[in-house]
Structure formats: structure tokens, C-alpha cells
Structure 1
Amino acid sequence: MKSWSFFICLCAAIPAGIAQTRLPLIHSGSEKAIIIDGKYVKTDWQFDPNANQDTYYVNVPRADSRVIFRTDQAELKFKTRFGREYNFLVVLNNKDTCHICISAKDGPAVRQAVTGHSYPDTIPFMLKGARVYLAGKLNGDHAVTIQLDFGAGGAIVNKMVSEQLALQFDGKTMTSNTQGLNEARASTHNRLEIGHQQWTNLPFTEVGNMQMGEDVIIGNGLFRDKVIELDYDNKVLIVYNNLPSKAKKYRVQPVYYEQDRPKFEATIMQNNQPFNFWFLFDTGRDGTMLIGKDFTGQSDNWNKLQALMVLPDGRKIVRLDAVISGQKIKDIVTNAADPVNAASRPTLIGNQVLNHFNVILDNPRGLLYLKPNGRWKEPYSNYDDYLKTIKK
């Protein structure tokens, strides 16, 4: 790999302040590059010569990271610090010059809360099935029931109640969920209050696949600058500025994020064969697990998984054990997606399993703390349930 050289930018498309500085310059003979962010994130990058500037946001910006940007001809390495940006140029096919920015700032979807209250902020929640629900207010005077879904990439509102909540829809966006890929209405300027936390200019997308009794769904994107605890024993969500001392009694592991959704490493086992994988930490899934084509498409995993039965759409019903944070969860029955099926959700572990652990998620540092709680003997969908179902 070449070491980077310097280039005095004369391109009018590059911002004037940056154009007056010397930027690192590398070459690429391919329209694709690779970004390696820390130990756990590796992602493809597509060059866009028509963009004024393309920005990659560091996965855990508040934690120091090492980012490598690699083309087919050269690479650049950056030691990132929160709040800083790292600009450089890539000459594509000896023709087009692309301006790239590695940003160690919060991404545009992150929203920070305003509060006049000191931290920590303790907020009660209730469980319906396996899901977590909070009480809040939307736009000042509308009481709402809020599902806390770490598997959600943004804030959404239930189509059945959006008119009652008097949301002002001022745009359109594309949304992908259990109803497929659809255009949806968007409302961009809203105020949400939960406990002493308040978010302004919060965008909501309207969807039609939510359940009766849940008004809005929020994800982890509202807490990316905070440490949050889900204490299922006391049914409280606690928001911290700093990691609480009780975390020393928990087992810790790293996480990384996809659209602010945390992913963590766990092991599934079938016939004593272990499979290690990074699972979506999905508190919004009222189920045990789902195995997507991101797993079944790797290392012949699809053929290695033995099926109890095969559904008409090609999915396998499989029986397996899981090991999470050193704890074994036995006899889970779930479905695995055929890797040739394009309509597949990411591999995840749902809250029927996750709510057996008290959780501390240290978003600023990208760390997850888990500890078995008093719900450890609570039932979840298992092999006995499967046998009862097929006998009906």
C-alpha cells in the first residue's frame, strides 16, 4: 500500500476553507473502497464523484478509534478523537476527485435531550408481553404510550393515532418494515418528553404495522450520548451521564451500531456445534430470536443448520441453544431465512430472551453490561411450545 501524499486542492466543488489547506490524497481504480472502524466494524464504501462531500461517521465517536480507509491502490489511517473531522481526497480512475470526510461527531440522526433535572433520571416502565413501554408527552399536551425499541433505527408514529396526535406532516420518506418497502409520511418538528428528558425538532415517520395501544416507538438514537440502564427487577429505565458503579457487578462486552441500533456478540449452538455471531439487540422483538440471511449466507451456515421443518417460503424452523454473557438459554425454537431470499431481516435476539438480563448500555464507549435478573425462570418460546403448536 502507498503512503499518502499531499495535494493542493483547486476543485471548485470542495469547500473554500478546506480547499486552502493541503489534504491527503490517494488513488483508486475502483468505485468501491473499504472502511475499517476499530476492531469490529468493516463496511463497504461507494464513491460518488458528484457529491460535494461524502461523510463517514465514526461508529462510536466518543470513544477513541482507529479508522482505515482502503482503496485498491492505497490506504489512509486516522486516530480519531470526538468532535474532530478528517478530510482527504481520492482520485478515482485518474479522472474524478472525491472529497471524503471521516467525522468523529454525532451523526445527523442523533438527538440529544435537554433537561433541567440532574442525572441520573429514573423513569418507570411497564412490560406488555416482552416489550418495554414508557409514558410520555408529544408536542406538549398529548399523552402517549412509547415503545422503547433498540431495534428501531428512528422514531415512528402509529398511523392509527397520528391524526389524534395532531402531527404536522411536511414530507415523505421511504420505510422498510414488515410491510415491505413503502413511501411514508414524515413529520420533522416535534417535541417529546419522557421523565425529565425532552427532545425538540424530533422527526417521526408514520407506519401502519404498529399494534393497538402503542402510539410511538423510539430507538437508541435518542440516547447515543448517554448511559442507559434497563432494570427489569424494578421496571425502571435509568438515564446516566456517566457509568454507574454498579456496572462492576455486571459482565461487559463490546457493541457496535447499525443506524444507532446496538449489535453484540453471542453464540448459538446446535448439536454441540457453536456459531459465533453479532446479533441485533432487539428489545422491540416480542420473541426469542430471528436468524437472517446475514448469518445463513456465511460459511455454509444454511446447510449446517438442521431443520425441524421447512416452511413454504423456504425458511427453516430450527431448535438451538444460545449462550449470552456466559449464560446458557436452552431449547429456543426460531426460524432461519433462506440466504437466496432477498426479503430477510437482520439476525437478532429478541426481548423474550433479553429481558432475562438487567442491562446497562454505555453508548459513549460502545460497551454493554449484562446481569441475569429475577426473570431468569420466566418462560419464552421454546421446544415444548413448538411441540404443542404442531399437535394442534
Structure 2
Amino acid sequence: MKRSDIKYRFFKILVMFIVGMQISYAQQKIRTIKSASEKALISDGDNVKMDWHLEAGVNPDIYYVNIPSQKSVIKFTTDQDELIINTQPQKKYDFVVLLNSKDSCHIQIASVLPPDAAHLETKNSYPIRVPFTLLNSRIYLNGQVNHKDVLLQLDMGAGTSVVNRKSSEKIGLEFSSHKMVSNTHGLNKERTSLNNQVTISGLQWNNIELTEVGNMDDSEDLIIGNGFFRDKIIGIDYDKKELTIYENLPNKAGDYKKMPVYYVQNRPMFNAEIVHNNKKYSSWFLFDTGRDGSMLIGNDFTGSKNNWEELNPLTVVNGRKIIRLDAFIAGVQFKDIVTNASNPAVPNAKASLFGNQILKHFNVILDNKKGTLYLKPNSLTHEPYFNYDSYLKQMSNK
């Protein structure tokens, strides 16, 4: 080989090495934005907006994309800068926020489900159909916890899986941790049991945390929520009293009214319209199948614009306005609902919601993969809910 050829090959290798180093550096280079405040804001797609607290001690501090199996546009906004990230499913994006020109806050945007997400295991073929019982507008399933028979409530408004304090000993749970729980008993630190197995009709979930609470009905042992199905499509058919788990969207969804959802602690939020004093309001509501009631107006609504001042109450009870309104869900009107509205001046983290006195009027398909809800009126469309006539009757008995 000629010396000139050797020099040429050496030069090619050297160039390739330098180019490779430059590519590697470009791949490792992390974007940096600035902030003079620990408060930031994350916008995820069209509907999710949430406050973010910058912490230099967490590396990385992870935000999980609301609907990770879909593309999204994430905007991370500080008082000085804004970063826009176009996410793809199963991808992670790292950047740094330089806080007060000295502290590096490492942030990761992860378009995946959180590592503690419940994972369904089954040998059954999809779709899988599970019978349920409807009692007082609530959905109940028969199942097992650690091979002990239990009665489970399917509560789409539940952000945490919980066990009835009266059932813990019967099931034989061991408690080694604690979790803060907000429910009708207020905000409390409750015992939590780790690494449990939950089974329902051939469906199995492992490593499930169960937090003990004292506000459940005596007859029910467990409450599970949509977190058990976040990578699945589920159907709730009140005509057949059947819960169905799908891998793919069924063809019958074309006969349903389609609408978007987003999630708060795996709990679906959907958009509906209410009419009060001849004024229309469009707002987001929690899809709360675990509430045996019609609805509730939370601070997310009453604290927006002049909504609280515009609500004309029938009466006021413990600072809450009792109001009369009409609601429109998936094109169906619910007249003269009587519900209570929270005073925005009183701290209250509860979201506005519709309960299952209303929601059970629809058969449901919830596509958790794409963040889409499908509703179709069913045979329960004439079932009663708490309305103005019910209110007058209740008041007359006082």
C-alpha cells in the first residue's frame, strides 16, 4: 500500500472520529431555560394546565404526559422563558431550568405511563366481559385480593385504590406504609398495604397498593378506579350489566357520541354544558361513577371568572349555594338538577363532577389509549335523579 493511501485512510478515520464526537455531543446537549421563581406552568395539549414547583434536589423531576400513547405539545413556562416540546409516544425529553442563575433543576417530560401504573395480566382473549351488579347507582364486581373473596366497587372517580377498614383483617392485609387521602372524612394520613394481588374474572394485577379508609359502605371491601385500565379501552354497558375490556375500539363506538377526556390521577374529566338563570356555561367535570348522586360544583368552576357571583341559590347551607340548573351531556338534557356549589373563598380541592345518578343513563366506552369518551343513552334514561321536585319534597319534610 502506498504511503499516500495510508495517509488518506488515516485522514478519513480522523474525520469520522471528529464527526462522531460532534454528533455525540449534540445528542447529549441538554436545553436550558431560565427562571427567577420556583413556580412554573405546564400545558399539556389543549386541556391540561398545571402548576409545577422547581426543585434543584430532584434529578430528574419527571412530568408524565397526560395521554402518553398519543402525540402532545408540552409547554413549560417560567417567569422568564418558555420551552415547547412536541412529544412522541414512548419517548423522554430532558432539559434544565436554571433557577436564580445558580441552581440547576433537571426536568424530564416522559411520554410513558408512570412506573407505578397498574398492569393487567390475563390469558383470556379480548374483548373480556365481566358481569357487574348495580346497587344504588354504584357498580360492583366480584373478585379476590391475595386469593380472598371480596366485593369491589368500580369508581372512575377514585384516584387511589382503597380498602375498607372493616375488611382489612378479613383479607389479612399487612401494612408497611402510609399515604395521604382526601375523602368525605377530610385529608388524613392512612395505612397502606403494598404488593397485593387483585383478580377479577381471570384478570390479574400484581404489586397493587391498597390504602385503608373508613368512609366505605359496610358491604364493600375494595374500591378500584380507572388506574387499573389506563392502557386499555373499557366499556360499561348498563343494559347488559357488563364491564368489557377491549384491546381495540369496537365498531359500535360509531353509534355513540364522541368527546375528548383528560385525566387527573387517572380519573377522566369530560366536558359538559350547564344552564343556570338562562346563562350557558361550558366546563369540565369528573366522570365519577362512584358517587351515588347527581353532581357537584367545585371550586374549579366557582373560582373561575364571575361564576360564583352569578349563581342564584335556592338556599345556602354551610357556606355552599344550593342551586337549580339544567345539564346537557352528549346531547341529552337533564332538567332541574338541584346540587351544591362550593364557595371559592373556602379551600377545597374537589373537582366539579357528575355522579352516577346521571352517568348511568349512558352506556359508556372509554378509550384510555387515545383519551376519548363515547356515550350512548340506554334503557335507564327514565331513572330518577335528584331534581327540583325531589328538593321541594325534602324541604317540606323538614
TM-score by length of 2: 0.92
Counterpart secondary structure, 2:195: coil
Check the 8 A contact 2:299/2:348 in 1, yes or no: no
**1:338 matched residue in structure 2:** 343
Check the 8 A contact 1:115/1:196 in 2, yes or no: yes
Amino acid at match of 1:138: V
Amino acid at match of 1:107: P
Q: Deviations over 1:288-338 (max 9, x none)?
A: 000111111111111111111111x11111110000011111110011111
**2:20 matched residue in structure 1:** none
1:87 is matched with which residue: 73, 81, 94? Answer: 94
**2:327 matched residue in structure 1:** 322
Amino acid at match of 1:128: L
Amino acid at match of 1:196: G
Q: Cα distance, 1:201 vs. partner?
A: 0.6
Amino acid at match of 1:213: S
Q: Cα distance, 1:52 vs. partner?
A: 2.2
1:246 is matched with which residue: 252, 266, 276? Answer: 252
Query: Is the aligned partner of 1:177 residue 2:183?
Result: yes
Counterpart secondary structure, 1:221: helix
Select between 294-303 and 254-263 the one with higher mean Cα deviation.
Answer: 294-303
Q: Cα distance, 1:20 vs. partner?
A: 8.9
**1:281-300 superposed matches below 5 A:** 281-300=287-306
2:272 is matched with which residue: 262, 266, 273? Answer: 266
CA distance in 2, matches of 1:343, 1:103: 29
**1:294-309 superposed matches below 5 A:** 294-309=300-315
Counterpart secondary structure, 1:157: strand
**1:198 matched residue in structure 2:** 204
Q: Deviations over 1:44-79 (max 9, x none)?
A: 111011212200000000011111112222222212
Q: Cα distance, 1:19 vs. partner?
A: 12
Amino acid at match of 1:342: P
In structure 1, runs of 5+ residues without a counterpart are: 1-16
Bigger CA radius of gyration: 2
Check the 8 A contact 1:121/1:196 in 2, yes or no: no
Amino acid at match of 1:148: L
Check the 8 A contact 2:289/2:359 in 1, yes or no: yes
Task: Choose between structure 1 and 2: higher helix proportion.
Answer: 2
Query: How many aligned positions are there?
Result: 374
CA distance in 2, matches of 1:254, 1:20: 35
In structure 2, runs of 5+ residues without a counterpart are: 1-23
Q: Deviations over 1:91-148 (max 9, x none)?
A: 11101001000000102342110001111100000111111111101112x1111000
Counterpart secondary structure, 2:121: coil
Check the 8 A contact 2:238/2:363 in 1, yes or no: yes
Query: Is the aligned partner of 1:187 residue 2:193?
Result: yes
**1:103 matched residue in structure 2:** 110
**1:1-392 superposed matches below 5 A:** 21-140=28-147, 142-311=148-317, 313-343=318-348, 345-392=350-397
TM-score by length of 1: 0.93
Q: Cα distance, 1:361 vs. partner?
A: 0.2
Select between 152-161 and 24-33 the one with higher mean Cα deviation.
Answer: 24-33
Amino acid at match of 1:376: T
Report percent identity of matched pairs. 52
Q: Cα distance, 1:35 vs. partner?
A: 1.0
Select between 94-103 and 36-45 the one with higher mean Cα deviation.
Answer: 36-45
Amino acid at match of 1:333: V
CA distance in 2, matches of 1:36, 1:174: 26
Check the 8 A contact 2:59/2:107 in 1, yes or no: no
C-alpha RMSD of matched pairs (Å): 1.4
Amino acid at match of 2:214: G
Amino acid at match of 1:357: F
CA distance in 2, matches of 1:19, 1:44: 31
Counterpart secondary structure, 2:220: coil
CA distance in 1, matches of 2:213, 2:271: 30
Check the 8 A contact 1:109/1:221 in 2, yes or no: no
CA distance in 1, matches of 2:382, 2:44: 39
Counterpart secondary structure, 2:309: helix
CA distance in 2, matches of 1:203, 1:189: 6
Q: Deviations over 1:176-207 (max 9, x none)?
A: 11111111110011000112210001110000
